[in-house]
Amino acid sequence: MKDDDNTMASLHIELAKSKRQIAALKLARNELREREKKLKESEVRLRSLVDAALDRSKVGVFILDSEFNVVWVSDALRRYFGLGDADIVGKDKRQLIHERIKGIFENPEWFQEKVLATYDNNTYVESFECHVLPGAGRKERWLRHWSEPIELGTYSGGRIEHYIDITDQKNAEAERIRLATALEQTGESVMITDTATNIQYVNPAFEKISGYSREEVMGKNPRLLQSGKHDQAFYQELWEALSAGRIWKGIFVNKKKDGELYKENATISPITNKHGKTISYVAVKRDVTREIKLEEQLRQAQKMESIGVLAGGVAHDFNNLLTTIMGNADLALMDLKEDTSAQRNVLEIQKAAQRAASLTRQLLTFSRKQVIQPTVLNLNHVVSGLEKMLRRLIGEDIDFLTAYEPEPWHVFVDPGQMEQVIMNLVVNARDAMPKGGKLTIETANVQLDSGYLEDHGVENTPGSYVMLAVTDTGVGIDSDIRPHIFDPFFTTKERGRGTGLGLATVYGIVKQNKGYLWVYSELGEGTTFKVYLPRSVKEEELVDLKDAIKIGFTKDKAHDINRLKLRRPITAIIIAATIESQPITSITNGNFDTLD
């Protein structure tokens, strides 16, 4: 009995020990579970922290074991590759590339080849850029792949792959390239200087416009372009604006490398850093030389047109008054005895009226309202026909030269007007050479294209023209005077030596005949006037001043002028003068025969 009691006591003791052990085991298990829970929570927190850090640094990560199976992938990389919540941990990375990854790239086969090569030889660091195309669950972006083998720890023999988002850098780089390309290819001249105004950059347009190469101006001061046309106040105003941080706008008259002057519309801006401090200046300039020239020519044409309308109206009204004056003067002379003071006074009135009538005719010519009789002409014949008279007109101290086009095209103009143009230009050239010189008259066939006409601000139609040039070696025309030389009554001659209508008349005649008048002059070097007249397309018979005219006369001196088929006003003058002393017989088909 006693033994049984001892046995039972032992059993109770062992049972109590077992309970205590079980309780200890349960406690240890709970502690282990708690530790595992905390470890997992810590792992999650750590992973979240790592993911957050990688997100902030824009880095996506793959961790691969030694068999190149995925053991961890960052949230950033899931977004970059559009993987979403797909369960890819434990998957073979090779298979993932082939099935899901390579297709998202711009060059899939190239991407696959580059990455798989690192698995076949997991001994080196690889780096390259790759372009992810937009698609389901992903945005377009640029990534830099950077991977290296894992040499220590649990995943030794594996590989870690980083995919760094460089989209912002690539966009900024593309923006810089676009900006640089725009600067290099823009038609405007661009110059950048430092704060000491030393040139740091110029674009190709600057080189083309200025004639200086980039190498020639780098480190130089922009004053090498100064023309001397601006005073100190001009530059002082410019620098006051820039020093105050303001943008300056204005027009420069600058000088090219070859010495030619040109005008630029410039905008100069201070460039500041993030603290607002000026670190350099940029000047964007556009060559407006041609535009300003065209604007001036347009204003000149509009002015001449307005003056022409005014002059034409005044001339017509004045002509009517002169008709009355001259008519009454003629009537008065009929009633006055010869060689009396009254007759002499009326004759002076008559002469003054005739001079006024001559001025009126010139005004009408300038305003292009004079009645004309154009015909087909050879300019060589017109000049040669006047040559003897012109030589006497200019005097012996001026050399007279001609340079004729061998086979000139014909023009369709009034012969009298053409002669007046030549006379006026020659007289103008003569007066410009008071101490003698050389006067040259030249004719030539020319083709004027649209580019030439636009450059010279001319509205004429491109095509074939005959040029008449009158060149002298005289005093030249000042640039300030040149815009006014065709104005009516404008003259630089002494009082009483000119009416100021000579060049105005030339201008009116050329414009009336749809021509173009151009002048080039340099002080002390001389002047060239070039008249361009359209080539005649008419098939009319060419009229020559040298044509012989056979005139027949009747015994009763009958003047059958209406039957004359005349082609030139000058011919009409010759015949009219001849009729007074010779009898006409008959006129048939333009041929004249005389009676014995």
Of 384 and 593, which is predicted with more confidence? 384
User: How large is the average pLDDT for residues 230-245?
Assistant: 90
pLDDT at 208: 92
Terminal-residue alpha carbon distance, the chain: 200
pLDDT at 297: 64
Domain for residue 5, yes or no?
A: no
Burial of 438 (0-12, 13-18, 19+ CB in 10 A): middle
96 & 124 share domain:
yes
Task: Indicate whether 384 pLDDT > 70.
Answer: yes
Q: Are 166 and 128 in contact (CB under 8 A)?
A: no
CATH assignment at residue 351: 1.10.287
pLDDT at 337: 79
pLDDT at 530: 92
Task: Indicate whether 46 pLDDT > 70.
Answer: no
33 & 86 share domain:
no
Torsion of CA 28, 31, 37, 42, to 10 degrees: -120
pLDDT at 370: 55
49 & 84 share domain:
no
pLDDT at 575: 36
pLDDT at 581: 33
Minimum mean pLDDT among 307-311, 417-421, 562-566: which range?
A: 562-566
pLDDT at 413: 86
Number of domains in the chain: 6
Minimum mean pLDDT among 46-50, 260-264, 387-391, 498-502: which range?
A: 46-50
40 & 80 share domain:
no
Task: Indicate whether 556 pLDDT > 60.
Answer: no
User: How large is the average pLDDT for residues 578-582?
Assistant: 34
237 & 300 share domain:
no
Task: Indicate whether 391 pLDDT > 80.
Answer: yes
64 & 49 share domain:
no
Task: Indicate whether 400 pLDDT > 70.
Answer: yes
Of 374 and 426, which is predicted with more confidence? 426
User: How large is the average pLDDT for residues 53-58?
Assistant: 58
Of 267 and 25, which is predicted with more confidence? 267
Q: Are 290 and 455 in contact (CB under 8 A)?
A: yes
CATH assignment at residue 94: 3.30.450.20
For the ranges 23-27, 149-153, 538-542, the one whose mean pLDDT is highest: 149-153
Of 185 and 461, which is predicted with more confidence? 185
pLDDT at 309: 59
Q: What is the average pLDDT value for the chain, to the nearest integer?
A: 78
Q: How confident is the model at residue 546 (pLDDT cuts 50, 70, 90)?
A: very low
266 & 400 share domain:
no
pLDDT at 305: 61
414 & 525 share domain:
yes
pLDDT at 69: 93
User: Which of 507, 534, 561 is at the close of a domain?
Assistant: 534
The percent of residues in the chain predicted with pLDDT above 90, rounded, is 33
User: How large is the average pLDDT for residues 357-384?
Assistant: 70
Which residue range is the domain that position 568 belongs to?
548-596
Task: Indicate whether 531 pLDDT > 80.
Answer: yes
Domain for residue 543, yes or no?
A: no
Q: How confident is the model at residue 589 (pLDDT cuts 50, 70, 90)?
A: very low
User: Which of 262, 287, 312 is at the close of a domain?
Assistant: 287
pLDDT at 458: 64
Minimum mean pLDDT among 136-145, 300-309, 421-430: which range?
A: 300-309
65 & 118 share domain:
yes
391 & 503 share domain:
yes
pLDDT at 47: 55
pLDDT at 440: 93
Domain for residue 440, yes or no?
A: yes
Which DSSP category does 134 fall into?
A: P
- Identify the CA nearest to 490 among candidates 297, 295, 304, 314: 304
191 & 138 share domain:
no
- Identify the CA nearest to 446 among candidates 530, 541, 538, 537: 530
Q: Report how far Cα 219 is from the mean position of its chain's Cα atoms.
A: 28
Cα angle value 75/76/79 (rounded, 5°): 90
Residues 6+ apart with CB under 8 A from 497: 431, 491
* pTM for this entry: 0.47
| DSSP per-residue string spanning 499-542 | -S-HHHHHHHHHHHTT-EEEEEEETTTEEEEEEEEEBP---PPP
204 & 92 share domain:
no
Q: State how far the Cα of 574 lies from the Cα of 596, in Å rounded to an integer.
A: 22
pLDDT at 193: 93
Domain for residue 14, yes or no?
A: no
